Chains A and B, each alone.
Chain A
């Protein structure tokens, strides 16, 4: 059991205790009691006809009970505070407030860049309405900044007007239905000023650059389209995806992607399974015959590239009755097929936009959570020694990340233990070993060197720069 598990358990225990113990609500009952006592005394006096004797007796008599009720309230409160304090102690013990690195905030002046990253992240996640709200809210701030910077007393167009009235992209036509974002549609025609006009009146190109609204508007449209298609795939409708793949077949092929074929194949398989499985109407477009028809109409596109796979699909027709015993059964299992094709689609769609399939912001923050403890440990160590972490080009300590977060090849010269960079690139020498350029130069005796790994020798000019 790690330390953290015991910490969480201790915390949970205290929390349970807190929940079981009476809280402030218990005191309300006691206050009711006091009110009751006071009211009954008042009634007594009134009913007695304002009798002096009754008045003085009854009021004197309740002094002590009331006082003791108050004392009981106090005890209750003491109990509550004691339980709460215990929770605090547990927090102090197991979750002490560690000083997060605060001496040097690299992100301090980067608000607009961070905002842009967040907007794009929200768009990727399909959070279209939150994204619009955010873009508007941050757009206003950036506009205000620039207004002050420009310092001109002209009527400034507000950020939201600017992008509401933007000329429509062609892509917008594609995603008329599932558009979750309705902010853009309502607009205020009065203050329309096209971005170019705005630039002309001196609002400044910088303002337009800062307003990522132009970019985001387009991006939003694209992501919206992607989400529409993904929804379709989820509901087993591949047609929109196939259409997209066809209209982008040039780029997809250049990338070496098989997406269009993957989709068509899955469509064939899906039809093959017949109306009972795929829920489509039982007609000549469905079932094994329907699949065959589909193949005849569509597979010609693939020429000779997938001839092997297409043959398998055709041969499967023979096994239509006992597919599960055929050698092709694995092609026809669709449990994960739709999910797989969905993620292929997402990957290709994003790549065509020049974006990664996974949100960079998400990866960065997850990596940050892994690296942070090491940073703090390092800071504590250097603080103790008196040296501080200065902003050099390279971190002074290692921050290991899982394999899938290593996106680039890294070469560390075994001799100098340094990473290769553009200024100090990896060099391959004739024997096939690799060294950093600076290392190589240090090994040179005149124009000759000896490989540190093997007996081979070589001339400086025989070493060549390689790109990993």
Chain B
């Protein structure tokens, strides 16, 4: 009974790990739409205005037919340009629709499955693992591997390689000391960043200012002040302390002796790393992505759920096995936590809570203190070709007479 319950798939919350799967294409769809909408607004306004002026000018006689034609050429060119842009947006939209279709189809497969023992569930779960692996690789910047795996499994619609590649590029550019790409990204996402109350743009502008000051020449200092007036001053109300510190930096240069640590921190090269991190955070928040790779989440809860006190113990227990020790065919189901792949990793997670014992039936105690179920002992004795009244310890191999065994009630 208990096992039936434990094996049942609870559809309501089985898809917790898969929320971003649906969210991301949706967010990208909206972003795409907004860009298209913005383009249309901008171009239509400009065009309507030019058209009106040309018409008026022509009626007034101020605009010659040649000029009218010239303006018409401009308008046609603009419209052609707009069409090209719309075409790009339309293609992106179609691609995202396709992705959504594929993802929903993948998740729907689960609705037909009711138990984790279902043969189809295993295939589905493996697909999910592949997804999590690609997500993990992308987040850590192992882009080549991510693409290789996505190609190998043909799961491009289920993963978001492009999004993370773009993010990677911008992150790298920040780590290499360039704000240009990041600022462009901020520009594209102004409204949403404002909604999130992100300080990213402000920090980027500050960094530009700092870089100008770093050069420490009079002309650059003037440039810095101009820059500050244009880009930093507007943030005065939002981030008063920081703006004040920026102003103070004029008097404190990186080459100064006894530079107070507060200002030294602003000039420090690891600010770029901090910026990169801030960017990644803002990016993930914007697109509804979780802070940590989903694999981490799945692993920490999975490792805990599987872990028992015995997994890191010093005793050779029946069901577990440690590499290098003799194991028998019957105890070959190696606990994942005891495996060399995961053992170290699982050291610091809590072990699972059990309120019920889980033991073999008909337990018998061997003289060496080990306990096994009768069925297991019988099977092993037969396989080892022992005489009738004898049994063999599955782990240590010691042979005992059946009369030496005691019944255990646990």
How many residue pairs link A and B with beta carbons under 8 A? The number is 462
Residue on A nearest B20 in the bound complex, by CB: A97
Nearest CB on B from A98, distance (A): 6
Known contacts A360-B342, A367-B302, A408-B335; A255 and B328 CB within 8 A of each other: yes
B212: Cβ under 8 A from any A Cβ: no
> Which among A412, A421, A433 has the greatest number of chain B C-beta atoms within 10 A?
A412
A98→B340 CA distance, assembly (Å):
33
The CA of A296 and the CA of B147, in the complex, are separated in Å by 53
| Known contacts A38-B72, A134-B142: A366-B125 contact under CB 8 Å | yes
A contact residues around B337 at 8 Å (CB): 360, 364, 407
A365 touches B129 (CB 8 A): yes
Q: Please, how many angstroms separate the alpha-carbon atoms of A5 and B350 in the complex?
A: 34
Do A401 and B305 touch across chains, with their CB atoms under 8 A apart?
yes
Partner of B19, one of A98, A118, A305: A98
Q: Smallest distance from the beta carbon of B77 to chain A beta carbons, Å?
A: 10
Query: Which of chain B's residues have a CB closer than 8 A to the CB of A25?
Result: 87, 90, 93-94
The answer to whether A366 touches B52 (Cβ under 8 A) is no
Within 8 A of B (CB), among A256-285: 256-258
Contact A362 B339 (CB under 8 A): no
Q: Which B residues are CB-close (under 8 A) to A466? A: 365, 369-371, 408
Closest to A140 in B: B142
SS class, residues of chain B in contact with chain A: helix
**Do A70 and B48 have beta carbons less than 8 Å apart?**
yes
Name A356's contact: one of B140, B336, B350, B408 (CB within 8 Å): B336
State whether A133 touches B148 (Cβ < 8 A): yes
Shortest beta-carbon distance, A12 to chain B, in Å?
A: 6
- Give CA–CA (A141, B294) in the complex, Å: 21
Q: A384 an interface residue at 8 Å Cβ cutoff?
A: no
Known contacts A369-B128, A408-B335, A412-B355: does B83 contact A28 (CB below 8 Å)?
yes
Asked if A357 lies at the interface with its beta carbon under 8 angstroms from chain B, I say yes
Return the chain A residue nearest B297 by Cβ: A100
Nearest to A411 among chain B residues (CB) is: B357
Name which residue of chain A comes closest to B101, CB basis.
Answer: A15
CB of B203 within 8 Å of the partner chain: no
Interface residues of B in 50-69 (CB under 8 A from A): 51-52, 54-55, 58-59, 61, 64-66, 68-69
What bracket does the count of chain B residues touching chain A fall in? Answer: 35 or more
Q: State whether the Cβ of B352 lies closer than 8 Å to any Cβ in chain A.
A: yes
A2-B216 Cα distance, complex, nearest whole Å: 67
Interface string of A4-33 (1 = CB under 8 A from B): 110010011001001100011101100110
Interface residues of A in 272-310 (CB under 8 A from B): 305
Question: With A8-B111, A45-B68, A420-B309 in contact, do A361 and B342 touch (Cβ < 8 Å)?
Answer: yes
Closest 10 CB pairs of A and B: A368-B302, A354-B323, A4-B11, A356-B334, A360-B336, A407-B335, A373-B13, A368-B298, A56-B58, A371-B305
24 A–B contacts from the bound complex (CB under 8 Å): A28-B87, A35-B76, A38-B76, A42-B72, A59-B51, A74-B40, A102-B290, A107-B345, A117-B345, A137-B145, A348-B332, A357-B334, A368-B303, A368-B305, A369-B17, A371-B305, A393-B351, A408-B317, A408-B335, A408-B358, A411-B359, A412-B356, A422-B314, A432-B408
